[in-house]
Amino acid sequence: MLLKDKIAVISGGASGQGLASSRLFLTEGARVVIVDWNAEQGEKAVADLSSLGDVRFVACDLGQEPQVRAACDRILAEVGTPHILFNNAGIGYSEHGRFKMASIFDTPLEDWDAILRINLTGAFLMTKYLGEPMLDRKAGSIIFNTSIAGVVGQKNIDAYTASKGGLVSLTRALAHSLGEHGIRVNAIAPGTIDTPMIRPVLDQASTAERLAVIPLRRIGTPDDIAGLALFLASDHSAYVTGQIIACDGGRVAI
């Protein structure tokens, strides 16, 4: 078991990549705390995964600072200081009706603020409140879920790309500042991964059109991301920090 008795906090663990990572981390012996604003999905995840090990759910909207602080305080008091923090939650296409994924000219300021507050500020807050106690242990792994959209220019999702680019910079900056404390900080940059977030988008373009730009000629799965997250969480990546690792079937390599 690669994560035996390690405490792992996974934001957005109620769905998609976070859910797959929660499952894999549990099978590798971790105690998992899922943080998500979707209470129904979160409770369902706990019910589905509890046979695998110690998993619990903490409801929290990452866009609301008092909720993030309260969630982190609760985790520290009831579970303990995490060894692994996977800042995975994010808002994207699945919330089309709620926040606009569009060019800057078509993005209302409120949507810009909301997308950055959840995707970037939410990860900042989780890391601020849980990362500081991690310093005392002198060991730990922090993982951000960015996107290839944070690494290369993708058009017409400008607030989303800005939020993900912010996570790329934050990853490198924190790797620098936390390295001397034994904390590794890395980011996963997923390509197209089949999760509820992008179902509306997957339905828009033809499969052939999508696969033409992916050398491995398939859409990624949540398990593809979970495997990389496990590597970054475990001691197998003990000398890896400050890296933005694409998990995209080779899409940004061509």
Ligand X SMILES: NC(=O)c1ccc[n+]([C@@H]2O[C@H](COP(=O)([O-])OP(=O)(O)OC[C@H]3O[C@@H](n4cnc5c(N)ncnc54)[C@H](O)[C@@H]3O)[C@@H](O)[C@H]2O)c1
Task: Indicate which residues carry an active-site annotation.
Answer: 160
| Of 30, 159, 142, the residue nearest 88 (C-alpha) | 142
Alpha carbons 123 and 120: distance in angstroms, whole number: 5
Residue whose CB is less far from ligand X, 28 or 36: 36
Scan residues 185-244 and list those touching ligand X (CB under 6 A): 190, 192-193, 195-198
Our finding on whether 170 is near ligand X (CB under 6 A) is no
16-27 and 222-233 helices, crossing angle to 10°: 50
Among 53, 92, 140, 249, binds ligand X (CB under 6 A): 92
Summary count for the chain: helices (H), strands (E): 9, 7
Name residue 183's beta-bridge partners: 140
Minimum CB distance to ligand X, residue 237 (Å): 19
Alpha carbons 126 and 109: distance in angstroms, whole number: 24
Residue whose CB is less far from ligand X, 18 or 82: 18
Please tell me the count of residues contacting ligand X according to CB under 6 A: 31
Quick check: 159 and 112 in contact, CB under 8 A?
A: yes
Minimum CB distance to ligand X, residue 240 (Å): 20
What amino acid is encoded at 246 in this protein? Answer: A
Minimum CB distance to ligand X, residue 208 (Å): 18
Alpha carbons 120 and 171: distance in angstroms, whole number: 11
Residue whose CB is less far from ligand X, 69 or 181: 69
Among 12, 82, 166, 249, binds ligand X (CB under 6 A): 12
Residue whose CB is less far from ligand X, 168 or 240: 168
Our finding on whether 22 is near ligand X (CB under 6 A) is no
* Torsion over CA: 56, 53, 19, 90 (sign): positive
Stretch that binds ligand X, among 13-21, 135-143, 203-211, 229-237 (CB under 6 A): 13-21
Residue whose CB is less far from ligand X, 72 or 198: 198
Our finding on whether 55 is near ligand X (CB under 6 A) is no
Strands (E), the chain: 7-11, 31-36, 55-59, 84-87, 140-145, 183-190, 244-247
* Torsion over CA: 118, 238, 181, 166 (sign): negative
Name residue 143's beta-bridge partners: 86, 186
Stretch that binds ligand X, among 56-64, 76-84, 103-111, 169-177 (CB under 6 A): 56-64
Scan residues 57-86 and list those touching ligand X (CB under 6 A): 60-63
Instruction: For residue 154, give both structure tokens.
Output: 């993708």
103-142 footprint of ligand X as x/- string (CB under 6 A): ---------------x---x--------------------
Contact residues for ligand X (CB under 6 A)? 12, 14-18, 36-38, 41, 60-63, 88-92, 94, 118, 122, 145, 147, 190, 192-193, 195-198
